Amino acid sequence: MARILLIAASTGKNLELAMKFKQTLERDGHQGVIMNLCTLDVPMYTPAAEEELDDLAVIEGIMDDIVSCKAMIVCAPEYNGSMPPVLNNMIAWLSVQSDNFRLLFNQRKVGLATVSGGGGYNVITSMRIQFSHLGSNIIGRPVIVNKTKPQRQSSIDEMIAQVIE
Ligand SMILES: Cc1cc2nc3c(=O)[nH]c(=O)nc-3n(C[C@H](O)[C@H](O)[C@H](O)COP(=O)(O)O)c2cc1C
Q: How crowded is the C-beta side of 157, counted as CA atoms within 13 Å?
A: 5
User: What is the residue range of 44's domain?
Assistant: 3-163
- Taking the CA of residue 77 as reference, the ligand 1 atom at the shortest distance is 17
Torsion of CA 20, 26, 27, 29, to 10 degrees: 150
The whole-number pLDDT of residue 9 equals 98
How many Å lie between the centroid of ligand 1 and the Cα of residue 3?
29
pLDDT tens per residue, range 60-70: 999 999 999 99
CATH at 113 = 3.40.50.360
The whole-number pLDDT of residue 102 equals 82
pTM reported for the whole predicted model: 0.97
Q: How many domains does the chain have?
A: 1
- Taking the CA of residue 120 as reference, the ligand 1 atom at the shortest distance is 11
How many Å lie between the centroid of ligand 1 and the Cα of residue 77?
5
| 32 in Cβ contact with 74 (< 8 Å) | no
DSSP secondary structure code for residue 18 in this structure? H
**Number of residues that this document lists for the chain:** 165
Show Cβ contacts of residue 27 under 8 Å, excluding neighbours closer than 6 positions.
Answer: none
Query: Best of 16, 79, 145 to mutate for ligand 1, by most ligand atoms within 8 A of CB?
Result: 79
pLDDT tens per residue, range 6-35: 999 999 999 999 999 999 999 999 999 999
Written as one letter, the residue type at 76 is A
- What residues in the chain have per-residue pLDDT under 50? none
How many Å lie between the centroid of ligand 1 and the Cα of residue 55?
32
| 69 in Cβ contact with 23 (< 8 Å) | no
How many Å lie between the centroid of ligand 1 and the Cα of residue 160?
25
